[in-house]
Each structure stands twice: as structure tokens, then as C-alpha cells.
Amino acid sequence: MAEREHPQGAGSNGRSKRAPILDAAVGLFLELGFDQTSMDAVAAKAGVSKTTVYAHFGDKLELFRAVIARGGASLDFDLNQTMLASVDDPQERLARIVLKLLQATTTTTYLAFIRVLTVEAGRRTELTETIRSLGVPHVIDLVAVALRDDARQRGYVLPDPEAYAGLFVRMTAAGPQMDALQDPEADRDPVHFDAYARWATAIFLQGLRAGGLPNAPDSAKGQVFPRLSRATA
């Protein structure tokens, strides 16, 4: 997702102002929603001039997208670190990915953004692509690689690995995330999440390894679950 370049000559000072602007925007978007958040309010909360806010972000929609992009970049980094520290066993890799995904997508801030975006989507069509990019930017790619490795090691044919990767992410992440959305007191204990991740991964892989897998429906081809696809990030 493209973001506005730093203002000409801003240097480290310009970059140092970008962070507090984004921090201020996060708080206001979550508190007030998209429509009720003004660039004036963001500037005041960040302790900068409105001119400075506009120098970094051309309009409020661009600022909103930058807030979402920053969250996605953070998750990207966490997933990359998880893969670098991972092992050759595809099942173990997948369980670790699910664990990281559950930890990242059940945080208070992430869930708050889901609520804001769900409300705004029906009223502001220009936020649709931003909502789609709220997913995890390249988790589908990482899962697809692990599924291909498992198929190769276990000797079965996996049709359309990306589609199955999208299905895996949705099946493993949706339940705990819905629990967290509905119940602020839902269990987010890392030990519980780890056990869940390993259990769900084992069930999914057992189904794949049994063979005779059907092709994904046409609706899943081309754009593989766009809300979780890197192509829309």
C-alpha cells in the first residue's frame, strides 16, 4: 500500500513527526471513528501543525491507510521472525504461524479497528480496499509454502496451494478472533493459543494427507480470499 513520501528536506525531524501523527490518528480513529476524526484533531493530539500532517499524508483516507499499513508491517516482521526461527517440519511451522496470527489479531487495538472498519464499510465505500488490507499481508504465502512442503514430504497432491492456504488461515483464526470480538474477557493465554494452534493444524493436515482433495471453488481462484491476500495490502 503506497504511502506519501517524507516532505522534501524533512530528514530525521520529518520522520520523527510521522510516528506521533500515526499514534494520534490511531487513538482518534478508535475513539471517534473515521468520519468524526479531523486532521485538525490529529494535529492537536500529535502536537504538530495541520500543515505538517498534510505534508506527510495528503488527506484523511491516506492517513487511515498508513495507520493500517503500519500495523500490517509489524505483523509481517513478526511472521518473518517466526519463520526464520522455525524448523523443517511443515506442521510445526504452520502451528507457529497460527500462534503468531492469533496473538496479533486478538489484541485490543486490532479488534477495535475491526469494529471501526465494519461500521464504516457500509457508509464509506472508499474504505473497502483499506478493510481488505487489514488482513495479514503475506501469511497466505508463508502457509502455502509450508503446505507445499508437507505435500512433498508426505507424497500427496495438493491442488491450488494458495486457496488451501487461505482456507487454513480462515479456519484456524476465525474462531478465537470471534470469541475475542464478542467477549473482551475471552482467554488469550499463550499456552491456550499454542495448544489450539497445534490442534487445529493437526486436524487440517490430517485431512489433506488423506488425499482425494477437491479443487477450490471458482470463487476462490485468482483472488485467493482477498481480505487475507498480500495483493491487496
Q: Which residues contact 179 (CB under 8 A, 6 or more apart)?
A: 186, 187
If you average pLDDT over residues 65-89, what whole number do you get?
69
pLDDT at position 197 over 90: yes
Whole-number Å distance between alpha carbons of 153 and 90? 9
Alpha helices in 122-186 (DSSP H): 128-132, 139-154, 161-182
Percent of the chain with pLDDT over 90: 34
Residue 16 CB-density burial (10 A; 0-12 exposed, 13-18 middle, 19+ buried):
exposed
Read off the pLDDT band of 40 (50, 70, 90): very high
Q: List CB contacts of 113: < 8 A, sequence separation 6 or more.
A: 29, 30, 68, 71, 134
Q: What is residue 227's predicted lDDT score, i.e. its pLDDT?
A: 41
CA gap 160, 211 in Å, rounded: 14
- Max mean pLDDT range (94-103, 178-187, 193-202, 205-214): 193-202
pLDDT score of 194: 94
pTM over 0.75, yes/no: no
CA pair distance 190, 85, nearest whole angstrom:
18
- Which of 66, 96, 78, 52 is CA-nearest to residue 3? 66
Show the cell assigned to 133: 488490507
Residue 94: predicted pLDDT: 94
Whole-number mean pLDDT of the chain? 78
Residue 43 has pLDDT above 50, yes or no: yes
* For range 42-67, the mean pLDDT: 91
Tell me the pLDDT tens digit for each residue of 105-141. Answer: 888 777 777 777 777 666 666 666 665 555 555 788 8
Cβ-contact 41, 34 below 8 angstroms: no
Question: What is the arithmetic mean of pLDDT over 148-171?
Answer: 93
* Cell numbers standing for residue 7: 516532505
User: If pLDDT is split at 50, 70 and 90, which confidence band does 199 have?
Assistant: very high
| Residue 8 clears pLDDT 60, i.e. is over it | no
Residue 10's pLDDT is 46
Residues 6 or more apart whose CB falls under 8 angstroms from that of 74 comprise none
Dist CA 13 CA 15 (whole Å): 5
- Provide, for the chain, the percentages of residues in helix, strand and coil under a 3-state DSSP scheme, each rounded to the nearest 5: 75, 0, 25
Environment class of 226 (CB within 10 Å of its CB; exposed 0-12, middle 13-18, buried 19+): middle
| Identity at 141, one-letter amino acid code | D
pLDDT of residue 226 exceeding 50: no
pLDDT tens by residue, 215-224: 888 655 444 4
CA geometry: angle 106, 109, 113, nearest 5 deg: 95
